Structure 1
């Protein structure tokens, strides 16, 4: 019985991160808006990336959540003052948060989604200027690229 509860919880957690599917939209179209076959996130706008990738755990208003895990609040978060901190967190993950900086299939029970430097910069800039944060100095895609593994390995 415990196995079913755990499996159902993982399924529910995984589905929470997917975009809502309207009655007028075929399921395959809605799912393809999130990631391509190779796992690359499709959105390029910071708000859209947040809505499709981040808000499943950090909640729509960025307030975070506690329950099946601890998802820190991004709203009015003083750590958002550091664009590199947010970028490295997105690229490499932190604690139980997955890394979105790799284009390799990580050895998880599902294929890993990933973002390029422009997408990471876009979502960091969105987080720093929305959700109660007011840090207007942007991070660039070049800045994000410099934060990746210095060997150039996108792992």
Structure 2
């Protein structure tokens, strides 16, 4: 079994941070059906809350059919996968997501100066999620020097509401 070098772990942490910082704003953007599929390839395996979606084109259609979102990432962790070149990464993310047209602030200031919940409806209320990605080095990207951060794409993605 191959052990991971310190450089592999550092690159993995950089790649995970960069991915999370790019992915969720793209997912929450008005152009998500064009932006998010760029993270995937035709062979990408996606499981969204028990519903399989295969490949970037199917993901584009899927994204058009769900309400707007606002994600708040609470934590993420990255595990480099031994015996893979690049190395490949498993990223676990947890946080909250709000769906629907009202994904603005959850609280408003009342006339008395105190904050109160903005809405009592399900739309716009946060739901806890867990999402796990397997990222692999992009085979179409130019080769990078050992110890340098390369471009990654999503090979597998599993999203699940926790509560």
Provide TM-score, normalisation by structure 2: 0.26
- Bigger radius of gyration, 1 or 2? 2
TM-score by length of 1: 0.27
